[in-house]
Amino acid sequence: MATSQPNDENVVVIKKYANRRLYDTESSSYITLDRLAQMVRQKRDFKVIDAKSGEDITHSVLTQIIMDEEARGTTLLPVNFLRQLIGMYGDQMQSFVPQYLEASLETLQRNQSQFRDAMSGALTANPLAEMTRRNMEMFTAAATGMRPPAKDAPAPEASKSELAELRAQLAEMQRKLDKLGE
């Protein structure tokens, strides 16, 4: 479900200094956050470390890149999504959210052409509903620690109420998607 971690020998080490400058140890040059964003789009593996402490700060630097992109007006994350995401912090499901989001984005990337066709109205079926259904299966699998259940397999007794709640949330998300598609 999750992408594999990069092999350390293929990872470009970026050092971040106290003056906020980023140093690419591969090219022996200073780079910008925009260059790091470009490396992400090129699927280049890198790790950002604090030059003084040696701490891995990749997560915070990637978050900064997202914040910069959003501030430029290239909003990818709707306000309601951000509110929901913030609401997940401290929730008992918090530990499942990263894997679910990662798997959802991987599914979206695998289905990009189908998604583009759906957005252009080229398909009569609703691929968004199918992708949502598959995402729901992955979320359920992550929550129960299993692979997606077979179509005929009954849900475990302990998770039927959770599954009903998740289905209700899924239905609400589908209503929102349908409304956006109008």
Give pLDDT, residue 170.
Answer: 77
Give pLDDT, residue 44.
Answer: 95
Confirm if 138 and 103 have CB atoms less than 8 A apart.
Answer: yes
Give pLDDT, residue 3.
Answer: 43
- The upper half-sphere exposure of residue 32, i.e. CA atoms within 13 Å in the direction of its Cβ, equals 4
Give pLDDT, residue 2.
Answer: 40
pTM exceeds cut of 0.85 = no
Amino acid at 29: S
Give pLDDT, residue 180.
Answer: 66
Taking 50 as the pLDDT cut, the residues of the chain under it are: 1-4, 123, 147, 158
Give pLDDT, residue 157.
Answer: 56
Helical residues (DSSP H) of the chain, grouped into ranges: 33-41, 58-71, 79-88, 97-110, 112-120, 127-144, 160-181
Confirm if 46 and 35 have CB atoms less than 8 A apart.
Answer: no
Give pLDDT, residue 76.
Answer: 87
